[in-house]
Amino acid sequence: MGWRHVVSRRLRALFRRDAVEREMEEELALHYELAVEERIRGGEAPRLARANALQEFRGADGAREMYRDARGTGWVERLAQDGRYAVRTLVATPAFTIVIIATLALGIGANSAVFSVVHAVLLRELPYEAPDRLAMVWETDRDSGTEREGASIPDYFDFRARARSFVSLAAFRPVPMNRTGDAAPERVWSARVTREFLTTLGVTPVLGRDFVEAEAAPGGPPVVLVSTRYWRTRLGAEPAVLGRTLRLDDSLFTIVGVLPERFHFPDDEVELWAIDQMTPTSGERFRHHISVVGRLASTASVRSAQQEMDGVARALEEEYPQSNTARGVYVEPLEQVLLGDVRPALLLLLGAVGVVLLIACVNAANLLLARRAARAREIAVRAALGAGRGRLVQQLVVESGVIALAAATVGLLLAQLGLRALVAIAPRSLPRAEEIAVDGTVLMVTLGVSMAVALVFGLLPAAGGQQTTPAQTLSSAGSRTGTGSREHTRLRNLLVVAEIAMAVLLVAGAGLLLRSFWTIRGVNPGFEPENTLAVRYQLPPSRYPQSFSNYPAGWERTFAFQRDVLERVRAVPGVRRAALAFNDPLTPGFTNSFLIEGREPEAAQGQAEVPTRPVSAGYFAAAGVPLLAGRDFAESDAVGDPPVLIINQAMADRYFAGTDPLGHRIRFWGTTREIVGVVGNERFDGLAAEAPPAMYPPIAQAPATLGTLLVRTAGDPHALLPAVREAIWSVDRDLAPFDVRTMEEAIDASLAQQRFLALLLAAFGGVALVLALVGVYGVIAYSVAQRGREIGIRLALGATSRRVRRAVIVEGARMAVVGGAIGIVLALGAGRLVRSQLYGVSAADPLTLAAAAGLLIAIAILGSAIPAWRASAMAPGEVLRGS
């Protein structure tokens, strides 16, 4: 007995429902028959007896329902009953059902897809222990305004010794390494990291161990940690990998550990982390080539750490004025460093796709509203028969819930497909792209969103029908339309206006991004990207000694490589020109401060740093950068020859305005160089940034172990790739060329984020247009159907069909104009969100906004045209008879 008894009774009621119901019917039937017999025995005529007994049973159903209520499983059954009812009515109107589910599925699917991206990239915790306690420690340069520069090795050791705000500080520097020994040389993105690397990040290897102290000491055994991905794809996923050696840049590194699957640092591309056995004397204080990441002490915050580091930096300025004057420190949360660049773009996308969902909701609400207006009588009858208001609303919500669930299912399938396309066109720089998937969280969020959506579009129509009583609805039995229709009409018009406004917002956003994309694509990069192949290489220090302190002593092999590789590549048939540069066009490379001879006082006030790109003779011709004055480098500008320099037009304008820069001498890297030429401006940091002042020293007079081989070809650059690669290998068999691409591809890649955003917003805008078209069409068609009598009368009284057409179209256009105006206001308000993503076009660009609104008005007219034509073609007599 007790609760167990109750539970078993209810369970039986739930799961053996048919049996229980049959018994119930049998019981009631007997009751009824016995009651009738009793009445007949009492002298009533059989027919009357039956009627009276029925009266007593008024609504045997009612009794049964109460019966179920008493059992306490009522709500479950009512829900199931409503669900069955909803499915039945939805199946009965397939066209309606398909349109509404497709509309919502589109909205939900697009949201799930974009949310999957946002979730994987922005929301998921970074794969480190307590990632919010991690911060990058940059050095800054007040002279040049640089905020995020690397640290120097001695500075790093001083930070470690002095800072109390960090439990540990690790240094790292990403380097491409050549892996040789097995097959063709392979370039592996790696990082040299200090002993504290894993302890700072709070990560333990899934296989093997962390570095140990002995391995961090200079001359200790070189060891390396590998990523799970590298272990799987390159090392055969063998557990016995520990202790194996990898030949990297001609040194043998022993694998001591495999890091967890999700672990990435600092980006997705790095596969190996090799021990850096640095000491305070392994680098000069003026070379800022390492990055520092630290874990905050439990007592410190980013702000307090910043304060402490300001003090440390000031002390270093005093102690080492030569190298550290104007140097500060910037403590930046790691999360901001890793994700800060993509966050605004992704949030913009999430916002846009949210608007798409809202539009879909509004459309669905409109469709439901039309349907419920048609079902007003049915609902009124049920209300008259005693169904409570709550019960009716519940039924409506259950119906929209069923629709939303179906839409969520279809939407998730769409999301799966869309996600694949999304990831395919996503910029390569998107962090954690490989983790993007429709996972449990996305599923739950989609479900949650769908239910919220169901409530919104389910309750909107319910709210519209509130004012009418069943009696009103039923008494207007003659006309086909319920009396609720006036409120409904107003609500539906309102919804369409809202929908158009939101569509204008999206289309305007898409328009702005597209215009911005086209503008940026039309930018002259300052070089000729056609038929140009770029191949990067990194000369390993083992075979190419690279001591910076006594440059150029010991750099002979590097110079020889540069000479030989150019000679071999130029000999390849089909190669028109070849040249070397420290870094290829469009990538900023490094910047340098400098001193113009005879103008030292200027420099004392703080001199800006400018991009400095060492290039070989023939670079400007190969890249297609015009020589404006003076001469190009020649083979005679080699190491040991008088140092020379070429500057760009921007530098000439900024520092030598009104004078001839040729013959002036500029000092940097401890050498004074004479300006021998001025070249046109080429863009240095992608297409969006204006060309900065820049300097080009000859690569033969600069320490450069990293380089780009630029090859201008007669025909398809790709076809020459094998020959070019062979030419490189003929000089150095163990060198792995990487980042092979044409300059046109490089330009495309530099625009990847803009293209991604523009494409997606254009797609969302397109969806919004289609939905708006459907929305306007639906409302106008419904309004025409409703006013069939009125239109018929007008036609019968002699209105021309043209006038009828015009009246209908004006109705649609009026909504569009109001919606368009609101949309422009919305777009102006949202400008802040999109501004950071625009180039060469204002967020309030009147042309784009007006075009968006105009487009929607055109769409609205199109949407009203079909119903208008249908209305004007009605035969008046038929319409009047019909009702």
Partner 1 sequence: MSNPDRELLQGTLDLLILKAVSATPMHAWGLTQRIREMSREVLSVNPGSLYPALERLQDRGWIEPRWGVTENNRRAKFYQLTASGRKRLEVETEAWRRLVVGVNAVLRTT
Joined together, the tokens standing for residue 160 give: 């470690």
List the one residue out of 241, 230, 151 whose CA is nearest residue 190. 230
Mark the segment that binds partner 1 (CB under 8 A) among 25-33, 247-255, 559-567, 723-731. 25-33
Question: Is 333 in a helix, a strand, or coil?
Answer: strand
Which span (30-38, 386-394, 618-626, 777-785) binds partner 1, by CB under 8 A? 30-38
9 binding partner 1? (CB under 8 A): yes
| Contact call for residue 69 and partner 1 (CB under 8 A) | yes
Stretch that binds partner 1, among 23-31, 258-266, 287-295, 328-336 (CB under 8 A): 23-31
Instruction: Report the residue number, 2 or 440, with the smaller CB distance to partner 1.
Output: 2
Nearest approach, Cβ of residue 55 and partner 1 (Å) = 10
Distance CA 777, CA 866 (A): 8
Asked if 28 is part of the footprint of partner 1 (rule: CB under 8 A), the reply reads yes
Find out whether the peptide bond into 614 is cis, omega within 30 degrees of 0: no
Q: Does 35 bind partner 1 (CB under 8 A)?
A: yes
Distance (Å, rounded) from C-alpha 540 to C-alpha 533?
23
Shortest gap between Cβ of 17 and partner 1 (angstroms)? 15
Nearest to partner 1 of 1, 183 (CB atom):
1
- Which range, of 31-39, 231-239, 334-342, 651-659, touches partner 1 by CB under 8 A? 31-39
Kind plus residue range of the DSSP H or E element containing 611: strand 610-612
Please, which residues bridge with residue 710 across strands? 534, 579
Contact between 181 and partner 1 per CB under 8 A: no
The structure tokens 């000069």 sit at 284
Least distance from C-beta 470 to partner 1, angstroms? 22
Only segment of 59-67, 406-414, 421-429, 714-722 that touches partner 1 (CB under 8 A): 59-67
The CA-based dihedral angle spanning residues 97, 103, 104, 109, taken in that order and rounded to the nearest 10 degrees: 130
Residue 65 CB coordination number (10 Å): 15
Is the CB of 56 or the CB of 341 nearer to partner 1? 56
What minimum distance in Å lies between the beta carbon of 47 and partner 1? 20
- Under a CB-based contact definition with an 8 Å cutoff, are residues 606 and 638 in contact? no
β-partners of residue 253 are 246
In this complex, which beta carbon is closest to partner 1, that of residue 62 or of residue 840? 62
- Pull the structure tokens for residue 751: 């625009």
17 sits near partner 1 (criterion: CB under 8 A): no
Of 5, 47, 88, 881, the residue at the interface with partner 1 (CB under 8 A) is: 5
Establish if 57 lies at the interface with partner 1 (CB under 8 A): yes
CB of 364 to partner 1, least distance (A): 39
Among 11, 16, 19, 26, contact with partner 1 (rule: CB under 8 A): 26
Choose between 9 and 173: whose C-beta lies nearer to partner 1.
9
What is the per-residue burial (b if ≥16 Cβ within 10 Å, else e) of 610-623?
bbbbbbbbbbbebb
Contact region with partner 1 (CB under 8 A), list: 53-61, 446-454, 745-753, 795-803? 53-61
Binding status of residue 6 toward partner 1 by CB under 8 A: yes
User: Which lies closer to partner 1 via its Cβ, residue 70 or residue 604?
Assistant: 70
When the beta carbons of 72 and 181 are compared against partner 1, the nearer one is 72
Question: Nearer Cβ to partner 1, position 67 or 551?
Answer: 67
**Which of residues 4 and 881 has its CB atom nearest to partner 1 in the complex?**
4
Which residue in 11, 15, 25, 34 binds partner 1 (CB under 8 A)?
A: 34
Give the residue with the Cβ less far from partner 1, 66 or 714: 66
Question: Which stretch, 66-74, 451-459, 481-489, 770-778, contacts partner 1 (CB under 8 A)?
Answer: 66-74
Residues 218-247 that bind partner 1 (CB under 8 A): none
Closer Cβ to partner 1, 13 or 710, answer by number: 13
Quick one: which of 445, 437, 439 has its CA closest to 408? 445
Binding flag, residue 41, partner 1 (CB under 8 A): no
Which of positions 784-843 make contact with partner 1 (CB under 8 A)?
Answer: none
The single residue among 15, 19, 38, 463 that binds partner 1, judged by CB under 8 A, is: 38
Is residue 881 at the binding interface for partner 1, with CB under 8 A as the rule? no
Spatial CB neighbours of 704, under 8 Å, sequence gap ≥ 6: 558, 582, 614
When the beta carbons of 31 and 654 are compared against partner 1, the nearer one is 31
For partner 1, the binding residue among 43, 70, 386, 601 (CB under 8 A) is 70
Q: Give the integer Cα–Cα distance in Å for 504 and 754.
A: 21
SS3 track for 634-661: CCCCCCCCCCEEEEEHHHHHHHCCCCCC
For residue 628, the surrounding DSSP H or E stretch is strand 627-630
Strand 166-180 to 207-208 pairing: unpaired
Question: 């063709």: which residue's tokens?
Answer: 184
Sorted by sequence, the CB contacts under 8 Å of residue 838 that are 6+ apart come out as: 512, 513, 516
Among candidates 694, 708, 697, 700, which has minimal Cα distance to 739?
708
Instruction: Decide if residue 31 touches partner 1 (CB under 8 A).
Output: yes
CB of 788 to partner 1, least distance (A): 45
- Under rule CB under 8 A, how many of the chain's residues touch partner 1? 27
543 binds partner 1 per the rule CB under 8 A: no
Is residue 60 near partner 1 by the rule CB under 8 A? yes
Q: Cβ closer to partner 1: 63 or 339?
A: 63
Whichever of 5 and 832 has its CB closer to partner 1, that residue is 5
- Cα 261–266–272 angle (5° rounding)? 60
Residues 6+ apart with CB under 8 A from 300: 164, 165, 166, 308
Query: Burial letters for 317-355: b for 16+ Cβ neighbours within 10 Å, e otherwise?
Result: eeebeebbeebbbbbbbbbebbbeebeebbebbbbbbbb
Selected range binding partner 1 among 52-60, 483-491, 743-751, 804-812, rule: CB under 8 A: 52-60
Query: In 3D, which of 332, 331, 325 has the Cα closest to residue 285?
Result: 325
Q: Which stretch binds partner 1 (CB under 8 A): 22-30, 92-100, 126-134, 436-444?
A: 22-30
Round the CA-based radius of gyration of the chain to a whole number and report it. Answer: 37
Q: Decide if residue 297 touches partner 1 (CB under 8 A).
A: no
What's the min distance (Å) between Cβ of 74 and partner 1? 11
Q: How far is the CB of 67 from partner 1 (least distance, A)?
A: 4
Which helix (H) or strand (E) segment holds residue 139: the answer is strand 134-141
Name the residue nearer to partner 1 (CB basis): 26 or 125.
Answer: 26
DSSP bridge pairs for 223: 254
Q: Does 62 bind partner 1 (CB under 8 A)?
A: yes
Q: In this chain, which of 67, 85, 669, 869 binds partner 1, going by CB under 8 A? A: 67
* Chosen residue from 25, 27, 147, 341 binding partner 1 by CB under 8 A: 27
Stretch near partner 1 under the rule CB under 8 A, chosen from 56-64, 422-430, 516-524, 534-542: 56-64
CA 808 and chain centroid, separation: 42
Contacts of 665 (CB under 8 A, 6+ apart): 596, 597, 672, 673, 674, 675
Residue 229 amino acid letter: R
Q: Which phi and psi (to 5°) does residue 710 adopt? A: -105, 125
- The H-or-E segment that residue 507 falls in is helix 485-521
Contact between residue 398 and residue 391 where contact means Cβ atoms under 8 Å apart: no
Residue 49 or 290: which CB sits closer to partner 1?
49
Q: Is-contact 135 285, C-beta < 8 A?
A: no
Is 600 exposed, middle or buried, given 0-12, 13-18 or 19+ CB atoms closer than 10 A?
exposed
331 in helix, strand or coil? strand
CA distance 567 to 624: 20
One of 18, 41, 42, 58 touching partner 1 (CB under 8 A): 58
Which spans of this chain sit near partner 1 (rule: CB under 8 A)? 1-2, 5-6, 9, 23, 26-28, 30-31, 34-35, 38, 56-58, 60, 62-64, 66-67, 69-72
